[in-house]
Amino acid sequence: MNACLPDDILEMCLVRLPLASLMNARLVCKKWRNLTTTSRFMQIRREGLFQSSWLFLFGVVKDGYCSGEIHALDVSLNQWHKIDSHTLKGRFLFSVASIQDDVYVVGGCSSLTNFGRVDRSSFKTHKGVLVFSPLTKSWRKVAAMKYARSSPILGTSEVNPDCFVFRNQQNRSDRRFYRPRVGGVSDVYEDPHRLSVRRQSRHSLDETDVSLFPSIKPCKFVRQKTEIHPAKMRLPLDFGVACSGVVCHGMFYVYSESDKLVGYDIERGYWVTIQTTPSPPRVHEYYPKLISCKGRLFMLSVSWCEGDGQIGRRNKAVRKLWELDLMYLNWKEMSTHPDAPMDWNAAFVADEELIFGVEMFKIFGQVLDFVTMFNVSDVRTGWNHISRNHATHDLDASSCMTKSMAVLRL
């Protein structure tokens, strides 16, 4: 028979390979390699929805050092991969965001006196933005932010090139140093600065730019030629410290530690306070995480288990997923996470209709990790554990605090 399918049919088969197997296929022979490395091939693969989710775990600490190691979970094959990256060595408290095939690593700190360690006695804060392309395992630098940031809150959005932010070539950003978990005052910076990252979308037809919006915060906005009313551009003074942000429907939503929600209208370029029904009650130590999924806005928040406060028993904390009805602005409970919330810095990211979460914590002298997945289109199935304790055996406990996660379709 045919050891050789015709090229077009062979191509139709190979586009369906998950990434790791595709890499393998490229080693088979020159013909296969040529077939599978064209941009057309990668486009068919992307558009045919043959890609699958990969989770990238950044910012781990090993033997006291920020190793720069990236742990990647291929969700479809349930395999962990470890990617060494010298570029990130010594850096901590950076934020990551995914745009198409790349992960953007924004800001962060490095120790000045103890290079490589998570040492906040004397450190440098970065303003640089690095881009990691897992497909080629390569790094590149893109335009830096105007000011250095650690743990900036990021949102990414596709915006039209002639929308407000581009016309004015400015953007705001927020600074938030690491501080004790309780208390803390919002740093308010006036920070008009140029858009940090701008890149042409690969889908040249829709003429959009994909942008990364580094976080925000009460910021006075330097107006250039705009007619926007200044009052609309400020965040309310009692907004507090931003703890989570996400872009949904052209709006950059930011949630604060004092349970306020604001939105930055990316097209029109101003902030609005969003008056929702009272936010879900939550345990103070756990900051909520906003998630944008399929044009819907969700929040993960830890609360005390109601009705379980029997005498002599300690009330249980549970992590719940809420959805904000964007029309009526009320929070609705969607689902309860099956795991006890052990990690107050649990990371959650969304990919299409899937929400992925990773919790890491140290118990019995070992750092454990739990990766869970939730499909917002299929609420009844609830949360699934997709991986347990694979990535983190040899990591330091401080990884729990410094980790961050991004998801890509590869």
Q: Check: CB of residue 338 under 8 Å from CB of residue 371.
A: no
Structure tokens at 103: 């992960």
Cα separation, 103 vs 85, in Å, equals 13
**Residue 367 Cβ vs another protein, minimum distance, rounded to whole Å:** 20
| Cα dihedral 142, 140, 90, 286 sign | positive
- H helix intervals, 190-332: none
Q: Are the C-beta atoms of residues 53 and 351 closer than 8 Å to each other?
A: yes
Q: Kindly state the smallest distance separating residue 383's Cβ from another protein, in Å.
A: 25
Which of 83, 112, 329, 379 touches another protein by CB under 8 A? 83
- Considering only CA atoms, which of 354, 352, 351, 363 is closest in space to residue 388? 363
Cα–Cα distance, 272 to 277 (Å, whole number)? 16
Q: Does 34 bind another protein (CB under 8 A)?
A: no
Residue 18 is a binding residue for another protein (CB under 8 A): yes
Q: Which stretch binds another protein (CB under 8 A): 77-85, 114-122, 242-250, 263-271?
A: 77-85
Tell me how many residues contact another protein (CB under 8 A): 34
- For position 6 contacting another protein by CB under 8 A, the verdict is yes
- Smaller CB distance to another protein: residue 22 or 299? 22
225 belongs to the binding site for another protein (CB under 8 A): no
Which of residues 24, 169, 224, 377 is near another protein by CB under 8 A?
24
Closest distance between another protein and the C-beta of residue 82, in Å? Answer: 7
In the numeric block, which tokens belong to residue 132? 């990691």
Q: How far is the CB of 390 from another protein (least distance, A)?
A: 10
Identified binder of another protein from the candidate list 5, 305, 329, 340, rule CB under 8 A: 5
Instruction: For residue 223, give the nearest of 172, 178, 177 by alpha carbon.
Output: 172
Q: Which is nearer to another protein, 77 or 305 (CB)?
A: 77
DSSP 108-154: -EEESSSTTB---SSEEE---EEEEETTTTEEEEEPPPSS--SS--E
Q: Choose which of 43, 63, 112, 137 interacts with another protein (CB under 8 A).
A: 137
Q: Is 49 in the site for another protein (CB under 8 A)?
A: no
Q: By CB under 8 A, name the binding residues for another protein.
A: 1-3, 5-6, 9, 12-14, 16-21, 23-30, 32-33, 72, 77, 79-83, 136-137
